[in-house]
Amino acid sequence: MTKAELIAAIGKEAKISKAAAGKSLNAFTGAVTKALKKGDRLTLPGFGTFSVTKRKARIGRNPQTGKEIKIPAAKVARFKAGSVLKSAVK
């Protein structure tokens, strides 16, 4: 599903225009981004939890050359699906 398809689906489900649905989606993604930048967790009961985790520095390997490379430590966004979402996907 593309972003445009998601906006259309939101608009249809909520019975609002595509423009309003697009603004709502952008507001949601912006709020999630701001919360994660601050290091907060965002929990949507039944749907899932967005959080930030720290990944340690490690040694990787270039698949083309086989040469070892250093991969620096980084903060990464994570999403853990909630129970309602897990059971809906089964």
Query: In whole angstroms, what is the distance from residue 44 CA to residue 86 CA?
Result: 13
pTM score, whole prediction:
0.78
Ramachandran region, residue 2 (left: φ > 0; alpha: ψ -120 to 50; beta: rest): beta
Task: Give the per-residue pLDDT at 71.
Answer: 96
Q: What is the pLDDT of residues 25-34, one digit of tens each?
A: 999 999 999 9
Domain boundaries, the chain: 1-39, 41-90
In this structure, how many other beta carbons lie within 10 angstroms of the beta carbon of residue 7? 20
pLDDT in tens, 33-79: 999 999 999 999 999 999 999 999 999 999 999 999 999 999 999 99
Q: Return the number of other C-beta atoms located less than 10 Å from residue 86's C-beta.
A: 12
Q: Which CATH number, 4.10.520.10, 1.25.50.10, 3.40.50.510, 3.40.50.970, labels domain 41-90?
A: 4.10.520.10
